[in-house]
């Protein structure tokens, strides 16, 4: 009992309070359907987990539902998060609530280990403040309850760094193994996490200096990491060669990396450092706090680790340029060193000895909390209202007018949300040049597709096709449902 009471001293109580605040923020709107920002990514995550649960727990064979009449085996990043979800579904059944709670659990563990990491390199006050910022900043709250691998990715990054430092300090095998496990997981989930080599390399250099290249354990660490990456991504590519289905992991100059000309555009930098980091991460108010933290004196050599971490993430921004431009969740790794720098400002200067400085920081803190809540509720969460989602409405129509076993072609431009919400399998329909040819309804019908569904909003917003073209295709087939915005036709006759 005395040990239990000692654990909840005032310092631990503060951390528990921070974790409680983080939990409360992440539980907001927990029952929302999968619509809104990055619904497509959540849907793919849920679909793979659901198929693991329903079709056998084979980690090596992830499946999606947009592979038509094929099994849907797909080339993807290492699906460990989806597999853990499937194991959870064994007890709860397929449940979006359970999936969100797992992400929240990972998010809370991340805050806990982040606190331990900051405390180890800086001090307890800085750790408390840094953990607080991760608990309340809008992007970290939002991503901490999304059904995506990002919550597990963040946990893997933070634990990988923390246990690496523990191993350097104590040379215990268990810390070496845990660091290797978590860093490898981070890189398997997102290969660009290899940028961690720069800050970890700096930490290793601090200990070994000129003897660094002779450390066999470090070479073993790197060899095991790259072997795991090689084995999984070779296997994943074999799946693609057989099924033709992929999330486009390695495709150069497509939707993730290699579009170097973007770096010469103002839009790239203003979007990432303005809209995404400035607004969605820092809520505006956090930006100057972060900048001030950057210029605070490093009290130990180890604190320069933060500079190497930031530099590595900046390289990641440069290389994975298209991914960072399109998806704001790609900036989540930046939140941790940023919160650390903000925590240093408050850890060193938030006290009553300087009343003017205290007043400025107190005012900034109040504004930051309120602006974070506003952005989280009115920007990030607002789109999770199903009444605002055409995908949600179309999925309801598809569910009403088709049977569960029917294969459906959805005009979704690669977004699997309608198929998932309607609980159907089938094919994507893409809006692109030569729309009619690329849609290829005749071939899909011969492969078992029974319905074609979509919305006319797609053609209204597209520069590639006109609504006349879409209507011409729709009118070839027996009409099942049609309104001003939506259509469903039968592919069993006509065309």
Q: Give yes or no: residues 344 and 426 share one domain.
A: no
Query: Residue 241: its pLDDT value, please?
Result: 95
Q: Sign of the CA dihedral 290, 293, 295, 299?
A: negative
* Cβ–Cβ < 8 Å for 80, 189: yes
* Mean pLDDT value of segment 247-257: 74
Q: Give yes or no: residues 25 and 80 share one domain.
A: yes
**DSSP codes joined into one string, 138-196:** HHHHHHTTSSSTHHHHHHHHHHHHHHHHHHHHH--HHHHHHHHHHHHHHHHH-GGGGGG
* Mean pLDDT value of segment 365-369: 95
Q: Give yes or no: residues 354 and 403 share one domain.
A: no
Of 351, 382, 413, which one is at a domain's C-terminal end? 382
Q: Give yes or no: residues 368 and 427 share one domain.
A: no
Of 331, 358, 382, which one is at a domain's C-terminal end? 382
Q: Can you tell me whether residue 359 is helix, strand or coil?
A: helix
Q: Give yes or no: residues 213 and 351 share one domain.
A: yes
Distance between CA atoms of 448 and 280, rounded to whole angstroms?
44
Q: Give yes or no: residues 249 and 366 share one domain.
A: yes
Specify the higher pLDDT residue, 330 or 474: 330
Distance between CA atoms of 379 and 376, rounded to whole angstroms?
6
* Mean pLDDT value of segment 255-260: 80
Q: Give yes or no: residues 311 and 447 share one domain.
A: no
Q: Give yes or no: residues 472 and 363 share one domain.
A: no
For the chain, what is the domain count?
A: 2
Residues 6+ apart with CB under 8 A from 472: none
- Residue 219 tokens read as 């070479």
User: How far separated are the first and last CA of the chain, in Å rounded?
Assistant: 76
* Cβ–Cβ < 8 Å for 206, 302: yes
In a domain, 62, yes or no: yes
* Mean pLDDT value of segment 385-402: 93
In a domain, 495, yes or no: no
* Cβ–Cβ < 8 Å for 206, 301: yes
In a domain, 170, yes or no: yes
Query: Residue 435: its pLDDT value, please?
Result: 73
The structure tokens 């933290």 sit at 293
Query: Residue 4: its pLDDT value, please?
Result: 47
In a domain, 351, yes or no: yes
What confidence category does residue 368 fall into, taking pLDDT thresholds of 50, 70 and 90? very high
Of 382, 406, 428, which one is at a domain's C-terminal end? 382
Across the chain, mean pLDDT equals: 92
Q: Which helix (H) or strand (E) holds 451?
A: strand 449-455
Q: What does residue 337 show for φ and ψ, rounded to 5 degrees?
A: -65, -30
Query: Residue 35: its pLDDT value, please?
Result: 93
Query: CA–CA distance from 281 to each of 13, 25, 53, 138, 141 (Å)?
Result: 26, 15, 35, 6, 9
pTM over 0.85: yes
Q: Give yes or no: residues 331 and 409 share one domain.
A: no
* Mean pLDDT value of segment 341-346: 96
In a domain, 328, yes or no: yes
Query: Residue 202: its pLDDT value, please?
Result: 97
Q: Give yes or no: residues 436 and 484 share one domain.
A: yes
Query: CA–CA distance from 341 to each of 16, 126, 201, 249, 264 (Å)?
Result: 22, 9, 21, 32, 28
Dump pLDDT digits (tens) for 420-478.
999 999 998 887 766 777 788 899 999 999 999 998 877 766 666 777 888 888 888 99
Distance between CA atoms of 47 and 82, rounded to whole angstroms?
9
**DSSP codes joined into one string, 69-90:** TS--B-B-S--HHHHHHHHHHH
Q: Give yes or no: residues 359 and 343 share one domain.
A: yes
Segments forming the whole domain that contains residue 459? 389-490
Q: Give yes or no: residues 261 and 350 share one domain.
A: yes
Residues 6+ apart with CB under 8 A from 389: 33, 35, 36, 39, 383
């Amino acid at each position: 009992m005395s040990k239990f009471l000692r654990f909840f001293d005032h310092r631990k109580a503060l951390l528990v309070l921070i974790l409680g605040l983080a939990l409360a923020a992440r539980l907001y709107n927990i029952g929302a359907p999968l619509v809104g920002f990055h619904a497509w990514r959540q849907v793919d995550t849920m679909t793979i987990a659901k198929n693991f649960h329903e079709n056998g727990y084979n980690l090596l064979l992830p499946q999606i539902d947009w592979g038509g009449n094929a099994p849907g085996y797909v080339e993807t990043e290492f699906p460990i998060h989806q597999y853990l979800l499937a194991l959870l579904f064994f007890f709860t059944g397929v449940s979006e609530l359970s999936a969100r709670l797992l992400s929240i659990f990972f998010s809370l563990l991340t805050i806990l280990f982040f606190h331990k990491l900051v405390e180890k390199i800086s001090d307890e006050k800085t750790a408390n403040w840094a953990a607080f910022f991760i608990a309340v900043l809008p992007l970290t709250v939002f991503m901490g309850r999304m059904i995506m691998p990002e919550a597990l990715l963040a946990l893997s990054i933070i634990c990988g760094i923390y246990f690496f430092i523990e191993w350097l300090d104590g040379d215990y095998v268990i810390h070496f193994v845990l660091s290797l496990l978590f860093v490898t997981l981070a890189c398997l989930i997102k290969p660009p996490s290899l940028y961690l080599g720069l800050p970890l390399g700096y930490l290793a250099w601090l200990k070994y200096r000129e003897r660094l290249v002779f450390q066999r354990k470090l070479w073993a660490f790197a060899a095991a990491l790259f072997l795991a990456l090689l084995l999984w991504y070779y296997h994943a590519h074999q799946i693609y060669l057989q099924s033709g289905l992929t999330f486009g992991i390695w495709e150069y100059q497509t939707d993730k990396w290699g579009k170097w000309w973007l770096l010469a555009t103002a839009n790239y930098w203003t979007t990432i450092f303005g809209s995404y980091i400035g607004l969605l991460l820092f809520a505006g108010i956090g930006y100057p706090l972060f900048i001030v933290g950057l210029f605070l004196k490093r009290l130990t050599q180890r604190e320069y680790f933060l500079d190497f971490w930031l530099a590595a993430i900046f390289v990641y921004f440069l290389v994975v340029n298209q991914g960072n431009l399109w998806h704001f969740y790609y900036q989540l790794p930046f939140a941790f060193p940023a919160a650390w720098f903000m925590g240093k400002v408050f850890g060193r200067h938030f006290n009553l000895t300087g009343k003017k400085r205290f007043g400025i920081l107190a005012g900034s803190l109040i504004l930051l909390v309120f602006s974070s809540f506003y952005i989280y509720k009115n920007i990030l969460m607002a789109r999770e209202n199903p009444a605002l989602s055409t995908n949600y409405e179309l999925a309801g129509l598809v569910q009403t007018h088709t049977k569960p076993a029917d294969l459906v072609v959805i005009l979704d431009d690669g977004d699997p949300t309608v198929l998932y919400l309607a609980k159907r399998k089938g094919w994507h329909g893409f809006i692109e040049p030569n729309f009619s040819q690329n849609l290829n309804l005749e071939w899909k019908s011969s492969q078992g597709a029974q319905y074609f569904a979509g919305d006319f909003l797609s053609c209204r917003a597209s520069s590639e096709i006109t609504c006349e073209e879409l209507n011409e295709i729709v009118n070839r087939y027996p009409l099942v449902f049609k309104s001003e915005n939506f259509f469903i036709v039968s592919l069993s006759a006509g065309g």
